[in-house]
Each structure stands twice: as structure tokens, then as C-alpha cells.
Structure 1
Amino acid sequence: MFIIATDEAGYGPNYGPLVVTATAWQFDSETPEDIFPALAADLKKDGVLIDDSKNVYHAGSLGPLENVVLGVLDSFDKRCPNAYFARANLFSSRDRISGCAVPCLDSARKLVIQEISKNFASVLAKHGARFVSAKSRSVFPAEFNELLERYDSKGTLLSNETLGLIGLMLPLLEGEPALILCDKHGGRNRYLDLLTTFLPEEFIQVVTESREKSVYRVNERKMEFRFLAKGDRLLPVALSSMISKYGRELAMLRFNEFWQSHIPNLKPTAGYPEDARRFQKDIAAKQQELGIENKTIWREK
């Protein structure tokens, strides 16, 4: 069975991108969710901590998150990780502030990441599992604001970006059954209209719609969608959360470096509302001097 798992980072901030990630996994088991706890425990024993990104990343300490994300990406794609995040749109934003790159790593860190890559693949194999692919999408403020005008809410924006990534993963299934796990989008409980637009030729059965979970079956395709409150408690969703968080932190590093290059001693921001207002005031004069429009760097919602 295939698992496609999605999660985001940066849903709430005013500065920086919304990053959404989908990961694809293949399991020998027909009920792979039953082995997630044991799989997570064995990975942790071997130095591969996969958890909600909030539990792995702490401000000022990118290393633990970075090691796991780069190790996992290396396990299925041996190219430079910059190539992955370039495809995720992290390097091609229309504004001149947001270009970024994976930091240069010393030889010791590279060895750590290679070990994580090896252990990740080995532990998955022991549990009859394989990591197949990952794809991310970054929506920077200028595009975010444009999409807000198209959709009726920020939650709908997130849902459409998420389904777009899932659509890119569907060719991997080749007719195999699939379970699609998503962290809930902005507290939304009803997804049938969105799924009907996403799969217009399919009959979609509503299994349940509640605050805890919303579940839908697409019988012709042998697919089940589950939108879960606190979905990042599940291993595949947690990894998607971590990749998204790492991508967003790369972008915020570059964003802060840009402004600090123009304003010495400027306190950096994580981009979330209260501190974002402080940062907005701190950069206002320089922003006007540089001719940077607010709509290109500040998200309306």
C-alpha cells in the first residue's frame, strides 16, 4: 500500500513563505498505520528523530532538524539538496529577498547526514517499507496575496496547494491502494467540494466529517483521504511537517540576512504576527528607501 502524507509550515505568519510538503511511502502491510509507532521508535533508536517539527526545531538550533531532513532527502535523491529546494520554488520567488540555499556543511556534518540516510532506509526496510518521494511547494507573500484574492479563505488556499502536490504524486501509485494523510487545513471539517473539484470524474464517499477527522473514499481508485486534527502525530505526516519547516527556515534566514545587511543590529523575526509588527516598524524607513512594496513581502492573512 502507498501512503501519501502532507503538512505545511508557515500557515500563520505575515512574513516568509507558506511551505507545503507531500511525502510518498510504500508499505508491504495493508494496514501500515499500525506500524507507525514501532517504526518511529526504531528510527529514533538509530538517531533518526521524526516528530512534529515543533518538537524537533527550536529557535537558534537548526542542526537537528537539518540533519534529519537532509538525511531523508539523500536516501532517495543523491543530488545536492539545493536541487530539491530549487524545485520547491524556494529559489525562484519573484521578490529579490527570498533566494536562499542550503548552508555549506563541514565534513563531520556530512558524515552525520550520510549515517542518517543509511539508517533511515535500513529501518524502513526492516519494517517492509520504502520512502519513495517528496515534493514541496513554497508560496511567498506576493503570490500568497494573489491567491487569497482567487480563493475565499486562507484555508482554501492551503487545501488547493496541498491537493496540487498530491496530484503530482498520484502517478506513482500505478493502481495500487493508497491512504492519503493530511493534517487538517485551518480547522476545516468538510472537504468533499474540494475533493470533487480535484477528482471530478470520481465518486467520492463521505465516511465521516468531524472535528477529529474527516475521511473520504474514492473506491474506483482504491484511495482513502484522511484529514486529521493533529495529524503530525503520525510518522509520515510528521516528516512532511519537518521538511516544510526546514524549507521555511531557510527562507527566513535569507530574509533576515537581507534586512540585516541594510540595518545593522536589526533583531531578526520569525515572521509571526506580534513580532512581525515590530519588525515591520523597524524596517519601514529602509523599505521605503529601497522601493520594496509591502504586498511583495507582507501576507494579508
Structure 2
Amino acid sequence: MSYWQIGIDEAGYGPILGPFVMSAVALQAAQPFAADAPWKMIFGVSDHRQPQNGAKRALTEHQWCVADSKQLHRGPRALARLEYHTLPILWPWLGSSRQCRTLLDRLSVTEIVGLRQPCYALGRLKLPLCHSPQLIVRRAERCRQSLEDAGLVLPKPLTFILLPEEINRIIAQMGTKSALPVLGWEQLMPAMLAATRTEVGTDAEGRWHPARSFESATDDSPQPTHVPITWELICDHLGGRTHYAAILPGVLNGWELQAYREGRTRCEYLLAPSNPPKSSHQARLRITVLPRAEKQAFVVALASMISKYIRELFMFHWNRYWQKQVPGLRPTAGYPADADRFLQDIATARARLGLADAVIRRCR
């Protein structure tokens, strides 16, 4: 069996300034594993949930924390801590220029509408922001080696990013903010399934190797020893929703809902391709939606970290841009409690620059 476990999580649903970001992360193994198993399988990884002897654990350069982004992005040097544990995973897709825009172009599943606005244009922002490139390179290699030693493969994460002007357009069209994470599902789920849709065969010595995609398989193609491919997708509840059977057919075109179970907290859905190739073993997709998924599933925690890190890159640039326009301006995280103060402080500069309210602030 070729087994893929995929986690999806978002950052920026509640704020009224800055982007909404949703990310998908996948791990592949030869056999299924429990959602929390990577915390035990991967050497040097921690989730900070079980401090040794009741004391806070200090993570060394050799250690890696994968946890709910809220655990990492808090207190002094919040961005530095988040970057320390998140950027090493993203480093292979950053490119030699180390420009943030290159990373966004490679990870984003759609065009980021509004990215040319100066307050959002990250083209010249180089990564890392808070650490030396040499440190992140060393940590990236350790993360890669730790995953390999655990028998896990991590392909390119994917992201879905909406800036305020596009968020406002979607809310005006759909009538509700809860449409944002559903759109994220619609973009990320098919994209990640397509990226990982590979049958796996074994060679003469029983070693696992990728064969070919479903689309390229034909009845008269040379056949390796095929095994079924299985996906398990885990995510938190979407804003304003507790049941998902009605929306999944629209999210996953080409997949058929075969069975589902919906409870007050946990929902499970089993799907299969509507028209699988005759030469292929039947693929299966199980979707599990549960509260606080980032505390129960490694892949969801990592998706949470990536979403938060990308959002914070935008907010770093946003605050720096406006501080150049308004000397002495206090930065903002974009949440309602502080956003009104920030918007008041930049009102004169915004009028001078001719930036419409819809470009700056979300309607909800």
C-alpha cells in the first residue's frame, strides 16, 4: 500500500487586516500510521505537550517543534520562533535568491490577487527574516534526514492565499465569510491529491518506488507489482460548519462519496474515484474533520505553522511599509481589537496614497 496523510489548516480567518492563508501538507509512508505517530517516529521532533519532569523543554538546534502555530507564535521573538521551526521545511522551495515572492509563487495553488499593491508586495523581502541562512540550511538538512530516517516523504506543501480586496469580493458574492475556508478546500484538496496521485510498486528486492500517475496508466502498459493507494485527509472544522457531506461533491470533482458518519464533533467521509482506470487498484480517500485537529495530527500542526508563517510574512511587510509612511507607528497583528487604532493612525497617509478601503480592510 502507498499511504498519504494530508493535513489542512488556516491562519487569518478572524483578523480584519492582512491575508487569509490556508495550507496543505502531506506525508507519505509505505503503511498507514496514526495521526499523532510522526511525533514519535521522527527523531528530535517535539510538540511541547509533555514537558519532561514538569519543566519547560529548551529546544536545541538539533530539535524541531511541530505544534499548533499559536504555541510557537507568542511572547517575545514570536516570529523568530515560528520561523526557526517552519522555514526549514519550506527551504527547498525558496530558491537561491531567497526572495519571499519566489516561495509564494511556488507554493500557491492560485494567483494571489492584489499582490502588486505596495503594502502587500513582498518581492524584495528576503528570507530568513530573523536567523542566518546558514542556520536554516543546517536545520533544513536535519529535518530532511529525520523524515527520511522515519520512512516518511514530505512533498511540496501547497497554500491558498486571499488578500482583503479579494476576500471582500468573495463575501459580497457569497454573502458569508464562511465561504473562505470552503474555497480553500476546493483549491487545496484536488491540488494535493493530484500532486500525490502516484501508484507505488515494488522492485525485485521489495523496495518501494513510485510508478506513474493514474492518468498515464493504460491497459497495455508494463505493469509493476501495484499496491492500492490510500489517502487520509485530516482537518479542523470550517468556520460556521459542522457537517460536510453536502459540500464534498462540489469540492472533489471526480470522487464519489461512499459512506460517511457525522457526529457533533467528529465527522468521517469515505470517497473513491468515480471512474478509476481498469488497470489500477481502487484508490480510497478518507476525510476526517475534528475540533483542534492541529493538536491531534502532525500534518495539521505543520499546515497550521506554514499558514501562520506566511501570514506573518505579509504582516511584517505590511507594518514596515506603513511605518515608512507614518514614522513612529505602532505595528498591528490585524485583529479587530487593534485594527481600528491602526487604521486611524494611517488614515492621512492612506488618503494621500489614494488606497481604497476595500484594498486595506475586510468587510467582515
Q: 2:204 matched to 1:142? A: no
Give the 3-state SS of the residue equivalent to 1:271 in structure 2. Answer: coil
**Is contact 1:85-1:91 (8 Å) kept?**
no
CA contact (8 A) 2:322 2:346 kept: yes
CA distance in 2, matches of 1:242, 1:34: 16
The CA deviation string for residues 146-192 of structure 1, in whole angstroms up to 9 with x for no partner, is 11123242222211223311211112222521001112211511112
Identity of aligned residues (%): 28
Work out the CA distance in 2 between the residues paired with 1:183 and 1:92: 28
Give 1:94 shift. Answer: 4.5
What is the one-letter code of the residue matched to 2:74?
A: H
Q: Quick one: distance in 2 between partners of 1:205 and 1:127?
A: 33
SS at match of 1:31: coil
Q: Does the C-alpha gap of structure 1 residues 105 and 23 become closer, same or farther in structure 2, counting only changes over 3 Å?
A: closer
Which amino acid in structure 2 is aligned with residue 93 of structure 1? L
Tell me the secondary structure at the aligned position of residue 132 of structure 1. Answer: coil
User: Within 5 Å, which residues of 2 pair with 1:13-32?
Assistant: 13-32=15-34
Q: Quick check: 1:247 aligned with 2:247?
A: no
- Could you tell me how far apart the structure 2 residues matched to 1:259 and 1:8 are? 25
Letter in 2 for 1:85: L
- Give the SS at the match of 1:167: helix
Structure showing the higher helix proportion among its residues: 1
- Identify which of 151, 174, 177 aligns with 1:151: 174
Distance (Å, rounded) in 2 between the aligned partners of 1:202 and 1:107: 43
Give the TM-score normalised by structure 1: 0.90
In structure 2, what is the equivalent of residue 198 of structure 1?
A: 251
In 2, Cα distance between equivalents of 1:91 and 1:68: 28
Matched, 1:174 2:198: yes
Higher-RCO chain (CA-CA 8 Å, sequence separation at least 6): 1
Q: Which aligned pairs between 1:1-301 and structure 2 lie closer than 5 A?
A: 1-33=3-35, 35-39=37-41, 42-44=44-46, 46-58=62-74, 61=77, 62-75=79-92, 80=98, 82=100, 83-87=102-106, 88=108, 93-100=115-122, 102-105=125-128, 109-171=132-194, 172-174=196-198, 176-220=229-273, 221-233=283-295, 234-301=297-364
Shift in Å at residue 112 of structure 1? 2.1
**What amino acid maps onto 2:328 in structure 1?**
N
Partner of 2:210: none
Q: 1:69 touches 1:242 (CA, 8 Å); kept in 2? A: yes
- Give 3-state SS (helix, strand or coil) of 1:145's partner: helix
Mapped to 1, the partners of 2:155 and 2:25 lie a distance apart of 8
Letter of the aligned partner of 2:334 in structure 1?
G
TM superposition score normalised by structure 2: 0.76
> Does the C-alpha gap of structure 1 residues 229 and 268 become closer, same or farther in structure 2, counting only changes over 3 Å?
same
User: For residues 185-227 of structure 1, what are the alpha-carbon distances to aligned partners after superposition, in whole Å with 9 as ceiling and x for unaligned?
Assistant: 1151111222111234433145322342221110344001112
State which drifts further: 140-149 or 90-99: 90-99
Distance 1:111 1:2 in 2: 31
Mapped partners of 1:128, 1:279: distance in 2 = 48
What CA RMSD, in Å, does the superposition of the two structures yield over aligned residues? 2.5
Moved more, 240-249 or 64-73: 64-73
Shift of 1:68: 2.2
